[in-house]
Amino acid sequence: MANAEAHHDHAHGHDDHHHGPDKGIMRWIKTTNHKDLGTLYLIFAFSMFFVGGLMSLVIRAELWEPGLQFVDPEFFNQMTTMHALVMIFGGVMPAFTGLANWMVPMMVGASDMALPRVNNWGFWILPFAFTLLLSTLFMDGGAPAGGWTMYPPLVLQTGEGFPFLIFAIHLMGISSITGAINVVVTVLNLRAPGMTLLKMPLFCWTWLITAYLLIATMPVLAGAVTMLLTDKYFGTSFFTASGGGDPVMFQHIFWFFGHPEVYILILPAFGVVSTIIPAFARKPLFGYDSMVYATASIAFLSFIVWAHHMFTVGMPLAGELFFMFSTMLIAVPTGVKVFNWIATMWRGSMTFETPMLFAIAFVFLFSIGGFSGLMLAIAPVDFQYHDTYFVVAHFHYVLVPGAVFSIIAAVYYWIPKWTGVMYSEFWGKVHFWLSAIAVNVTFFPQHFSGLAGMQRRVPDYAVQFVDFNQVSTIGAFVFFIAQFIFIGNMIRCMAKKGEKATQQVWEGARGLEWTVPSPAPYHTFEDPPKVNDEILGFPSHGKAH
C-alpha cells in the first residue's frame, strides 16, 4: 500500500507498517501484521485439528468392537488425553485467535492489533508448546494418559513426559494470554471514532469478554499445573494426601479454570453466528443489547458453577444444590441468545449459502448440547451420567457442531475477503451436508450408550453397546474424510483459483470489513474510517435497535 503518509517515522514500532510483505520465510517469522498472524494461527489450528482428528480415529477404531483390537489400554488413554489437549488448546483456541487477528482490527477500523510484537511472540510460542506436548508420545512412559483434566494422583504417574506436559501448558497459557491482552487493548483503545461500545460488532464484544475470561483463568491453570510439578519433583504436598494435601483441591482449582474455559471455547462462536445470521437473513440482529448483556452474564456465571463437574466427590448437600441451581441459571442467558438468533431469522429474506447453513446447524445442534448440559446439571441424576458417554455426547455437541462449526462458518464467510476469491459453493454444500449428518451419526448414539452405562476413557465395553459404537465409529470416519473437501476448497481460494469476489461479497453483510476491497489490502484503515449505523448493520432509521 503505497500511501501518502509513508514517510512518517517508525517510532511507534510498526516496522513493516508502510510497505508490503517481505519475501520468503522471514516474512512469516518476523511478521507483526495482523492479517499474516491471523493466517498463521488458522493454518496452525487446522494442522492441529488434523493431528487431534487422527487421534480420535484411533479411539473410534479401537471402540469398533469390545475387547482390545488395535492398541493397548495405556496407549488408548494417551490418545483420549492428547486428543482433548490438542483439540482444545491447539485447535479451537488458536483458530478463534486467528479469526480475532484477522477480523477484530478490520471490524473496529484499526490498522493493526494494538501490540503487534506481542502478537508475533504469542503465535510463535505455539509451535514450541505443541512440539513439547507431542514429543511426549515418544518418551519413556509415553504421553500423559490420565485425562486432559490432569487429576492427581493419577497424572503424577506420567513418565518422563510429565514435565513436558506442564511446560507445554505453561506456554499455551502464555500464548493465549498475549492474544487476549491484544484483543482487549485493540478493542478498547483503537475503535474508529464514533464507534461506541454498544455499536461495536458482536464478534468484538464476545471476544472482548472471552479475553477477560482468558486473562482471569489461564493463570489459575498455570498455578495448578505448577503445583503438580512441585508435588512430583520438589516434595511439596499440595495434592498429596500422605503429606497433608488434598487431591480434591486440584479438582476445585482445575474447574475454577475449566468451566470458564468451556465458555472461552464458545463465546467467540456466539459472536461469529451473531454476525452471519443477520447477513443471510438480511435483517439487523434482533436484540443486540440483550446479546451483549447475555454474553456478559454467561461470563460472570461461569465463575460460580465449577463444581458441577464434581458432583460425585462427596460435597455437602448445600454445595450440590448451589452448584446445581447456579448451573441451571446459565441456561437463561443462553436461551436469550438462541431466541435472538431465531428472531433474527424470523421473516427474514433468507438464503442458504454455506456459512449460513453452518450457522443454522450451530443454533440447532448447540442447543441439543445445551439441553444435555441441563440434564447433567441436575445433581442427583449426574451421579448416573458422570464419567459416561453421555458426558462425551454433551461436550461434543457443544464443541463440534458448536465451536468447530462456527469456525468453519467463519472461514467460509470471510475467506472471499481474505483471498479475493469465492470458494466453490457446490463443494461447500457437499461439505456441509456430510458434516452435519456425520456429526450426528457420530455423537447422537453416545447419549444412549452413556445413559445405559458405558464409561468414558475405557477401551473395552460391554457387548450390549456394540451397535451404538459401530454407528459412532462410522460417523467419525465420514466426518474426518469430509473435512478434506473443506481443506481443498480453501486451498483453492488461497491459490486464487475461482470466481473473483466483490468488495461486498454477501448482499446482506454489514460491517467495516466489507468497505475495503477483496482481497483486503495488506494494510487497512491506516486512517480511521467514518462509521454510521448503516455500515455497522444497525437499523438506520427510527429508534436504534
Partner 1 sequence: MSASNRAGIRHGWRLGLVVVAMFGFGFALGPLYDAICRVTGINGKLSGEVADEAAITLVDESRLITVQFVTTVNGGKPWEFRAEQSEIQVHPGQLTTVNFFMRNTEGRDVVAQAVPNVAPWNAAKHMHKTECFCFNNQPFKAGEGKDMPVRFVLDPALPADVDTVTLSYTFFDVTETAKPAVVLPQVQGYQS
Chain contacts with partner 1 (rule: CB under 8 A): 11-13, 114-115, 118, 177, 180-182, 184-186, 188-190, 215-224, 227, 235-238, 241-246, 248-249, 252-253, 256, 314-316, 319
| Catalytic status, residue 35 | no
Q: Where are the beta strands (DSSP E) in 197-343?
A: none
252-281 positions binding Cu ion, by CB under 5 A: 259
The yes or no reply on residue 377 touching ligand HEM (CB under 6 A) is yes
Q: Of these residues, 274, 406, 435, 472, which one is catalytic?
A: 274
Q: Measured between alpha carbons, how far is 499 from 515 in angstroms, rounded to an integer? A: 20
Contacting ligand HEM (CB under 6 A), which of 184, 265, 356, 454? 265
| Catalytic status, residue 308 | yes
| Catalytic status, residue 261 | yes
Contact 186, 238 (CB under 8 A): no
CB-based contacts of 164: which residues, under 8 Å, 6+ apart? Answer: 132, 133, 135, 136, 139
Smallest separation (angstroms) from Cu ion to the CB of 259:
4
| Catalytic status, residue 10 | no
Q: Of these residues, 17, 337, 396, 431, which one is catalytic?
A: 337
| Catalytic status, residue 274 | yes
The yes or no reply on residue 149 touching ligand HEM (CB under 6 A) is yes
- Please state the φ and ψ torsions of residue 421, each to the nearest 5 degrees: -130, 140
Smallest separation (angstroms) from Cu ion to the CB of 377:
9
Record the cell numbers describing residue 30, joined without a space: 518476523
Instruction: Answer with the entry of Cu ion, partner 1, ligand HEM, none that 118 interacts with (C-beta below 5 to 8 A by kind).
Output: partner 1
| Catalytic status, residue 83 | yes
Question: What is the contact mask toward Cu ion in residues 289 to 308, using x (rule: CB under 5 A)?
Answer: --------------------
- Find the angle CA(82)-CA(182)-CA(501) to the nearest 5 degrees: 85
| Catalytic status, residue 337 | yes
The yes or no reply on residue 394 touching Cu ion (CB under 5 A) is no
Nearer to ligand HEM, 137 or 329 (CB): 329
Contact 260, 216 (CB under 8 A): yes
Give the Å distances, CA to CA, from 93 to 12, 98, 175, 291. 29, 9, 10, 22
The yes or no reply on residue 232 touching Cu ion (CB under 5 A) is no
The yes or no reply on residue 154 touching ligand HEM (CB under 6 A) is no
Smallest separation (angstroms) from partner 1 to the CB of 112:
10
| Catalytic status, residue 396 | no
The yes or no reply on residue 386 touching ligand HEM (CB under 6 A) is yes
- Find the angle CA(192)-CA(97)-CA(273) to the nearest 5 degrees: 75
Q: Of these residues, 261, 320, 382, 513, which one is catalytic?
A: 261
Instruction: Report residue 303 CA to chain centroid gap.
Output: 18
The yes or no reply on residue 337 touching Cu ion (CB under 5 A) is no
396-425 positions binding ligand HEM, by CB under 6 A: 398-399, 402-403
Q: Measured between alpha carbons, how far is 389 from 446 in angstroms, rounded to an integer? A: 5
Binding region for ligand HEM (CB under 6 A) out of 71-79, 93-101, 111-119, 376-384: 376-384
Smallest separation (angstroms) from partner 1 to the CB of 19:
17
Smallest separation (angstroms) from ligand HEM to the CB of 456:
8
The yes or no reply on residue 386 touching Cu ion (CB under 5 A) is no
* Burial per residue of 173-187, b for 16 or more beta-carbon CB atoms within 10 angstroms, e otherwise: bbbbbbbbbbbbebb
Give the Å distances, CA to CA, from 16 to 6, 7, 30, 38. 11, 12, 10, 16
| Catalytic status, residue 259 | yes
Nearer to partner 1, 238 or 514 (CB): 238
Record the cell numbers describing residue 422, joined without a space: 469465492
Q: Measured between alpha carbons, how far is 329 from 326 in angstroms, rounded to an integer? A: 5
| Catalytic status, residue 112 | yes
The yes or no reply on residue 262 touching ligand HEM (CB under 6 A) is yes
Contacting ligand HEM (CB under 6 A), which of 221, 253, 266, 307? 266
Q: What is the dihedral of CA 74, 94, 264, 407, to 10 degrees?
A: -100
Q: Of these residues, 35, 199, 283, 308, which one is catalytic?
A: 308
Contact 537, 284 (CB under 8 A): yes
Find the helix or strand (DSSP H, E) in which 513 lies: none
Contacting ligand HEM (CB under 6 A), which of 374, 434, 451, 474? 374
Peptide bond between residue 153 and the one before it cis (omega within 30 degrees of 0): yes
Q: Measured between alpha carbons, how far is 190 from 40 in angstroms, rounded to an integer? A: 23
| Catalytic status, residue 435 | no
Q: Of these residues, 28, 207, 255, 263, which one is catalytic?
A: 263
| Catalytic status, residue 472 | no
209-212 — which CB contacts under 8 Å span 24+ positions?
209/267, 209/295, 209/296, 209/299, 210/96, 210/180, 210/183, 210/263, 210/264, 210/267, 210/268, 210/299, 211/179, 211/180, 211/181, 211/183, 211/184, 211/187, 212/180, 212/184, 212/299
Nearer to ligand HEM, 134 or 150 (CB): 150
Contact 131, 68 (CB under 8 A): no
Nearer to ligand HEM, 303 or 522 (CB): 303
CB-based contacts of 39: which residues, under 8 Å, 6+ apart? Answer: 98, 102, 418
| Catalytic status, residue 135 | no
291-350 positions binding ligand HEM, by CB under 6 A: 308-309, 327, 330-331, 334
Q: Which residue is nearest to ligand HEM (CB)?
A: 373
Q: Please identify every residue annotated as catalytic.
A: 83, 112, 148, 175-176, 259, 261, 263, 274, 308-309, 334, 337, 456
Residues that bind ligand HEM (CB under 6 A): 149, 262, 265-266, 308-309, 327, 330-331, 334, 370, 373-374, 376-377, 382, 385-386, 391, 394-395, 398-399, 402-403
